[in-house]
């Protein structure tokens, strides 16, 4: 080969190499030393279930501790629990045929209460309302927002005392009726401080 | 347009809701520990009982006028307050809950302000038995003033809409109201204002705002702008996350021994740490404060200390160990302590805080705490507690005249024949 041409090639290559060396690139010995992290080896980013983060950290720490034991004492009793990393069900195969029919759960509040803000619970004592199915110790649900009409079961106050009775009227005066023939109707007259506090819309009872 | 709705004599009204015997009678509700009067019925106000009066000072009047005295029942008030605020929210898409019994509502675009005001009043009465007053105007400060008129001047029947009145009429109303009643003007500021010739709200409205800013503060200048119908304080929609948690009580009787102080610190720390867990925050600092009776000025001892926690945490045990160190360092023997408390501060959101890899006890402790919280939620509030936290401490708050928790405890429902 023409020595002149060869020389030119050498010079070009030398320049290229020189350029490379002077403009950026990795510098030997720079950065964190290999395997110098807390684990003493290469690390890798993994995605794990959140609920297992503690277990995994614990596992790593335990196995490290176990390694230390391993070195100092020759008998190695590595005790680590195998972990199920993927406890979640993997969706595979056919989708459930019921999936499209999942509806909200039944909620008794929704069934029993219409006006949440105006609804209060009171404990019933005695048997005066037994014929309409309200027993001793039942919890009556009272909706204060409702306008009471005759025929409603109401929570009323008479001269400062509360009572649950049926609201009725007789000769343009209010009367409170018990749902038990043992009790007499209460006639409301002007001298009484009388107020219908709310309407009883339901009652609940537990057997156990 | 802005409405300010507030419940009249809120605590008394809550008590009356479940006890009609209290109607038309003078009633007062006491602060924590049955100390001072914090709510009065109109009948009690007529007897010239002032807000904040210590109970012992009016013992004679209470007997001679047969005033009914009640301890405060916060579970009940909080529940009724929540219900009130939810009902009010139905009148406006924008609501600022200003206090336990007050709420601003944005009524912009509402063309029937008076009718809406009356509807609010009617609904709150019918649904909850809460008597309210409604003040309507173009700014919050004016709405507050309108509410004051609605409450104090019977001719409004509880709903005062300043925006439909002529300026002359409004000025006439303002000229009769003491400047201390303006929103944001405290008693001290009012005294100072009087010294520069500003006596009524009208005087303040007509005053030179720049001069007031120089003499007082920019906040007072804004009050003047608001009185002149320029909005400076818009409706604040979001409630800021709690930046600190305070748990403290005055004791039912003074305590002297360090052991009893430990009991109290444990109880308050447990409560504060629990609150912090409930709102998903971690605390960086814990402060402890103790004080003897401020009424014995000569011997009054008050002290507090703030300590940094080793790492942000809401773990009761860890916070307690630091809090007790603090308590020990500020405790002095032979002093009768009447109050102590715990403050957690530097609260950070749990999910945005740094995770620690190494302190593994941390992890297990927090699991333990989770389990304890779950058990206490399922069973009784204090089923599992620290051994130094007594169930029935001898320093327990005095609440000798408390009504039942009618709406928040199955055991305390109203019983009806």
pLDDT digits (tens, 9 = 90+) for B348-380: 887 776 666 655 456 667 778 888 888 888 777
Handedness of CA B213, B215, B219, B220 (dihedral sign): negative
Q: How many contacts (CB atoms, under 8 Å) link A and B?
A: 69
Contact state of B413 with A125 under an 8 Å Cβ cutoff: no
Query: Hey, what are A154's tokens?
Result: 């109401």
**Nearest CA to CA, how far is B89 from chain A (Å)?**
12
Residues in chain B, how many?
417
Query: Exactly one of A18, A52, A57, A128 is catalytic; which is it?
Result: A128
CATH 2.10.109.10 fits A116-204, yes or no: yes
Beta bridge mates, A186? A176
B94 token code pair: 């924008």
Yes or no: say if B233 and B226 are a contact pair by the CB < 8 Å rule. Answer: yes
Q: At residue B152, does pLDDT exceed 70?
A: yes
Catalytic residue among A36, A165, A173, A208: A165
* A58 has catalytic annotation: no
Higher pLDDT, B399 or A192: A192
Q: How far is CA A144 from the centre of its chain?
A: 31
The alpha carbon of B98 is separated from its chain's Cα centroid by a whole number of angstroms, namely 10
Residue closest to B117 by CA, chosen among B136, B131, B99, B98: B136
Looking at the partner chain, which of A117, A124, A155 has a beta carbon nearest the beta carbon of B127?
A: A117
Compute CA distances B20 → A196, B182, B199, B415, whole Å: 11, 35, 41, 14
Contacts of A205 in chain B (CB under 8 A): none
User: Three-class SS of residue B20?
Assistant: helix
DSSP B324: H
A165 among known catalytic residues: yes
- CA atoms lying within 13 Å on the CB side of residue A160: 8
Tell me the sheet residues that pair with B106: B2
* CA-based nearest residue to B134, from B113, B159, B104, B164: B159
- The nearest CA of chain B is from the CA of A91 a distance in Å of 29
Neighbours of B284 (CB within 10 A): 15
- Determine whether the interchain pair A122/B413 forms a contact, defined as Cβ–Cβ distance below 8 Å: yes
Q: Which of B101, B59, B63 has its CA nearest to residue B83?
A: B101
Backbone dihedral region for residue A3 (phi beyond 0: left; psi -120 to 50: alpha; all else: beta): alpha
The C-alpha atoms of residue B172 and residue B15 are separated, in whole angstroms, by: 37
CB contact under 8 A, B416 and A155: yes
ipTM, two decimals, is 0.78
B197 forms bridges with which residues in the sheet?
none
Single out the residue of B96, B65, B59, B69 nearest to residue B11, CA to CA. B69
Given an 8 Å threshold on Cβ–Cβ distance, is B128 in contact with A195? no
Average pLDDT over every residue of B325-337: 90
Q: Chain A closest CA to B412's CA: distance in Å? A: 9
Quick check: A118 and B128 CB within 8 A? yes
Q: How far is B125 from chain A (nearest CA, A)?
A: 9
Task: Give the position of tokens 């509880």.
Answer: B158
Residue B260 has pLDDT above 80, yes or no: yes
Question: CA–CA separation, B213 vs B221, rounded Å?
Answer: 5
Pairing between β-strand A119-124 and β-strand A139-143 as defined by DSSP bridges = antiparallel
Domain ranges of chain A: 33-75, 76-112, 116-204
End-to-end C-alpha distance for chain B, whole angstroms: 47
A40: its two tokens: 């003493």
CB distance from B128 to chain A under 8 Å?
A: yes
Place of tokens 């009465």: B125
pLDDT at B409: 87
* Least Cα separation, residue B192 to chain A (angstroms): 45
Sign of the four-CA dihedral B386, B324, B274, A58: negative
> pLDDT-based confidence at A126, cuts 50/70/90?
very high
How many whole angstroms separate alpha carbon B397 and alpha carbon B33?
Answer: 5
* Whole-angstrom distance, CA of residue A84 vs CA of residue A90: 13
Residue B360 contacts A where some CB pair is shorter than 8 Å: yes
Residue of A57, A125, A163 with shortest CB distance to B357: A57
| CB contact (8 A) between residue B23 and residue A126 | no
CB atoms within 10 A of CB B311: 14
User: Do the beta carbons of residue B106 and residue B235 sit within 8 Å?
Assistant: yes
Q: Of B238, B270, B236, which is closest to residue B391 (Cα–Cα)?
A: B270
Alpha helices in B234-351 (DSSP H): 258-278, 316-330
**A138 to chain B, closest Cα gap in Å:** 10
Q: Enumerate residues 382 to 411 of chain B having a beta carbon within 8 A of any beta carbon in chain A.
A: 406-407
On chain B, the residues whose CB falls within 8 A of the CB of A125 are: 415-417
* Partner residue opposite A160 with nearest CB, options B20, B407, B414: B20
CB-based burial of residue A130 (10 Å sphere; 0-12 exposed, 13-18 middle, 19+ buried)?
middle
Half-sphere exposure of B216 (CA within 13 A, CB side): 27
pLDDT tier at A172 (50, 70, 90 boundaries)?
confident
Query: How large is the average pLDDT for residues B158-171?
Result: 94
Q: Which tokens in the block code for residue B184?
A: 């944001």
Q: How long is chain A?
A: 208
For residues A128 and A168, give the distance between their C-alpha atoms in angstroms, rounded to a whole number: 16
Chain A residues in contact with B406 by the CB 8 A cut-off are 120
C-beta atoms surrounding B396 within 10 Å: 16
- pLDDT band (50, 70, 90) for residue B112: very high
Contact B416, A122 (CB under 8 A): yes
Instruction: Work out the pLDDT band at A81, boundaries 50, 70, 90.
Output: very low
The predicted-structure confidence for B217-249, as pLDDT tens digits, reads as follows: 999 999 999 999 999 999 887 666 667 888 888
A164:B417 CB<8 A:
yes
Judged by CB atoms closer than 8 Å, whether chains meet at A118 and B416 is answered as no
What is the SS3 assignment for B401? coil
Contacts with B35 (C-beta within 8 Å, 6 or more apart), sequence order:
B54, B55, B250
Rg, chain B, Cα only? 25
pLDDT digits (tens, 9 = 90+) for A3-40: 565 565 555 555 555 555 556 666 777 777 666 666 77
Q: How far is CA B6 from the centre of its chain?
A: 14
Least CB–CB distance from B20: residue in A54, A118, A195 = A195
């Amino acid at each position: 080969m023409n020595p002149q041409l060869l020389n030119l090639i050498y010079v070009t290559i030398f320049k290229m190499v020189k350029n490379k060396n002077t403009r950026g690139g990795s510098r030997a010995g720079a950065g964190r030393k290999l395997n110098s992290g807390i684990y003493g080896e290469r690390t890798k980013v993994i995605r794990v279930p959140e609920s297992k983060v503690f277990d995994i950290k614990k596992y790593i720490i335990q196995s490290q501790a176990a390694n230390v034991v391993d070195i100092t004492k020759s008998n190695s009793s590595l005790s680590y629990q195998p972990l199920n990393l993927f406890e979640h069900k993997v969706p595979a195969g056919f989708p459930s045929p019921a999936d499209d029919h999942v509806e909200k759960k039944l909620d008794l509040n929704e069934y029993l209460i219409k006006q949440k803000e105006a609804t209060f619970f009171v404990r019933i004592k005695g048997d005066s309302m037994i014929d309409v199915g309200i027993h001793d110790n039942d919890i009556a649900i009272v909706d204060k927002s409702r306008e009471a009409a005759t025929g409603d079961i109401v929570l009323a106050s008479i001269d400062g005392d509360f009572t649950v009775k049926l609201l009725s009227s007789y000769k343009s005066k209010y009367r409170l009726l018990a749902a038990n023939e043992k009790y007499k109707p209460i006639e409301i007259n002007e001298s009484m401080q009388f107020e219908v506090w709310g309407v009883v819309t339901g009652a609940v009872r537990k057997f156990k | 347009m802005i409405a300010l709705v507030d419940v009249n004599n809120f605590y008394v009204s809550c008590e009356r809701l479940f006890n009609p015997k209290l109607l038309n009678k003078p009633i007062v509700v006491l602060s924590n520990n049955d100390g001072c009067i914090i709510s009065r019925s109109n009948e009690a106000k007529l007897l010239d009982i002032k807000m904040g009066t210590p109970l012992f000072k009016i013992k004679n009047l209470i007997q001679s006028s047969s005033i009914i005295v009640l301890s405060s029942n916060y579970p009940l008030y909080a529940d009724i307050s929540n219900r009130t605020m939810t009902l009010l929210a139905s009148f406006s898409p924008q609501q600022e809950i200003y206090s336990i019994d007050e709420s601003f509502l944005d009524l912009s675009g509402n063309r029937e302000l008076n009718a809406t005001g009356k509807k609010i009043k009617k609904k709150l009465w019918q649904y909850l038995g809460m008597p309210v007053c409604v003040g309507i105007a173009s700014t919050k400060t004016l709405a507050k003033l309108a509410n004051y008129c609605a409450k104090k001047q019977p001719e409004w029947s509880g709903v005062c809409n300043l925006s439909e009145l002529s300026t002359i009429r409004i000025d006439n109303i303002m000229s009769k109201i003491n400047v201390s009643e303006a929103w944001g003007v405290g008693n001290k500021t009012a005294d100072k204002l009087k010294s520069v010739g500003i006596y009524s709200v009208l005087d303040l409205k007509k005053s030179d705002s720049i001069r007031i800013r120089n003499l007082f503060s920019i906040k007072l200048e804004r009050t003047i702008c608001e009185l002149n119908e320029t909005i400076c304080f818009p409706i604040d929609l979001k409630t800021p996350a709690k930046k600190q948690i305070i748990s403290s009580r005055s004791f039912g009787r003074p305590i002297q021994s360090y052991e009893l102080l430990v009991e109290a610190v444990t109880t308050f720390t447990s409560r504060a740490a629990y609150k912090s867990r409930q709102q998903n925050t971690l605390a960086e600092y814990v402060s402890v404060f103790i004080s003897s009776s401020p009424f014995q000025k000569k011997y009054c001892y008050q002290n507090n200390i703030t300590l940094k926690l080793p790492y942000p945490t809401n773990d009761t045990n860890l916070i307690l160990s630091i809090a007790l160190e603090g308590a020990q360092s500020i405790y002095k023997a032979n002093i009768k302590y009447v109050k102590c408390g715990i403050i957690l501060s530097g609260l950070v959101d749990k999910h945005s805080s740094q995770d620690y890899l190494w302190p593994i006890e941390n992890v297990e402790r927090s699991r333990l705490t989770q389990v304890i919280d779950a058990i206490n939620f399922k069973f009784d509030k204090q089923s599992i507690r620290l051994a130094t936290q007594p169930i029935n401490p001898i320093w327990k708050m005095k609440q000798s005249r408390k009504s039942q928790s009618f709406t928040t405890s199955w055991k305390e429902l109203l019983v009806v024949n």
